Amino acid sequence: MNIVLCILVSVLTQSSASKPNILFILADDLGFGDVSWNNPEMITPNLERLAGQGVILDQYYTQPKCSPSRAALMTGLYPFRTGMQRGSIGPFRPTGLPTPFPTLPEILRNQGYSTHLVGKWHLGYCNENYLPTRRGFDSFFGEYAQQADHYTREHEVNRHIGTGYDLRRGENVSYENLGLYSTFLWEEETINILDKASTSDPWFLEVSLTAAHPPYQAPDKYIKMYERKNRRKKQKNNRSDQDNIRKAMITAIDDSVGRIIDKLKSTGLDENTLVVFSSDNGSGHSDANGSLRGKKGYVFEGGVRVPAFIQGTPLLHQMLVTPGYSSSALVHIVDWFPTLLRLSGEKLSNLETDGVDIWEPLTTGEISQREILVYNLDLDDQSKTFQFAVRKNNWKLIWGQTKEFKPHKKEKNELFLFNLARDPNETENLAESEPSIVQELKKIVKNLTKETRTAFHPNRFNLGFPKYHEGLLSPGWCGTGWWKILWNSESTSLGRFVQAL
């Protein structure tokens, strides 16, 4: 049977006519317990229905923060290889995804795909060369930076900085649908693209949602759904009010995704479209990550293990052992890079990637080739504080900082070892009782840190403040090429420091 399945994949990758369209939906700060198949308290019927028609990725991982995860998706490389491991690019930081690395949409264009990004970019905007329209996307409608108000598109109201408006069509400021809730704004644009999409030439469309990232805002009708639930449970306090709004944002996503898929079907494009749904990291609310330990920014499971599924295309359904099954294959967000490119016809031998082609493991139940997963590797070049977190099969090592990485000062370094097969919630530290496994995983860390590129995560520049740019978040106030300095003659002092640990 496996021979037949391999032939089906070969036909797909060799025939340009059968290249699948790719609809990649990326939610923001969606925790493991924020979907109804992991938590019956959540109202996500459309997402659950779609997941039930495809494959749920039960062991799916991202980076602990937004920008590193997005960099991993775009480049197929762990962020420690691209200098993006330090954390999110906050507004007015003069940095971005280094331009020497080819991106997923750039390579897809070489395979005849049109490429589109709707929603959040968050990989740098201070220089024009960082912009999504310069990194492989034919069209862009969305926000450059971390997070704006979901109705006004305004960033960070501050009398010293100025209010920064952030919405672009291409590289031009757009005031379209001002006041429309962000999730519905991205939905409307997505549906417009699908209306015009080619039925003969393949396309890649990333819908990068800005929910459920703060500020917590949602239309009243969704908030009332959860208020009713809370009233039945006799729960009412400020914390539950905020939680109601955050959950309402997710149900609004569910409604929106349902309408997008309905449009896909009405156009007939669903016949050759692969749908991928993912979050970029765990939720900042620990409760939203189910029973998993930690939250967004942490290298504990709650920060990095998130909901995901694939759905669509006749080929996927022909290959599935059974629709709606939950795959236990170990998957990282970098794995989409080789997987989607192989489906597009790109030869994997041409790619430099940390990703593993996961098509067969997800669709046929074959054993995945991935046995090692990197949660994060970061070593500060000013203080030598560090954060190393890796997994080999079911063993996970956290060495150094466990929470959101704090550079430039000495932090308490910790050592944890977990067996995730027996203890997925990371309650039992086995570091003292399993010293040989600790040493084995430390050896993996030390080998990988030889390939680590120094992170560039500067403080924000007042040159980028909106008050100096007519109240806008605008590029043109920083240079690129920082990597030529940091990586030109890689310092061996950090490497020696790691080897001595």
Active-site annotation, residues: 66, 122
Helix 492-500 and helix 435-449: axis angle, to 10°? 180
496 Cβ neighbours under 8 A, 6+ residues apart: none
Phi, psi for residue 206 in degrees, rounded to 5 = -100, 120
How many other β-carbons are positioned within 10 Å of the β-carbon of residue 445? 20
142 HSE (CA, 13 A, CB side)? 29
Element (H, E) at 120: strand 114-120
- CA dihedral 345→340→53→315, nearest 10 degrees, is 10
DSSP letter string over 156-196? ---TTT--EE--EETTEE--TTTTS-HHHHHHHHHHHHHHH
Q: In Å, how far from its chain's centre is CA 238?
A: 30
Read off φ and ψ for residue 362, nearest 5 degrees. -75, -35
E strand or H helix at 326, and its extent? strand 325-327
234-269 per-residue burial string, b: 16 or more CB within 10 A, e: under 16: eeeeeebbebbbbbbbbbbbbbbbbebbebbeebeb
Whether the Cβ atoms of residue 142 and residue 167 lie closer than 8 Å to each other:
yes
CB of 147 closer than 8 Å to CB of 210:
yes
E strand or H helix at 339: helix 336-344
At 288, is the secondary structure helix, strand, or coil?
helix
Measured between alpha carbons, how far is 193 from 232 in angstroms, rounded to an integer?
42
The label of the residue with tokens 């006749």 reads 314
Residues 6 or more apart whose Cβ sits within 8 Å of residue 261: 46, 50, 270, 275
- Position 276: which residue type? V
Q: Distance between CA atoms of 147 and 91, rounded to whole angstroms?
A: 9
Q: Which letter does DSSP use for residue 112 in this model?
A: T
DSSP state of 50: H
| DSSP letter assigned to residue 383 | T
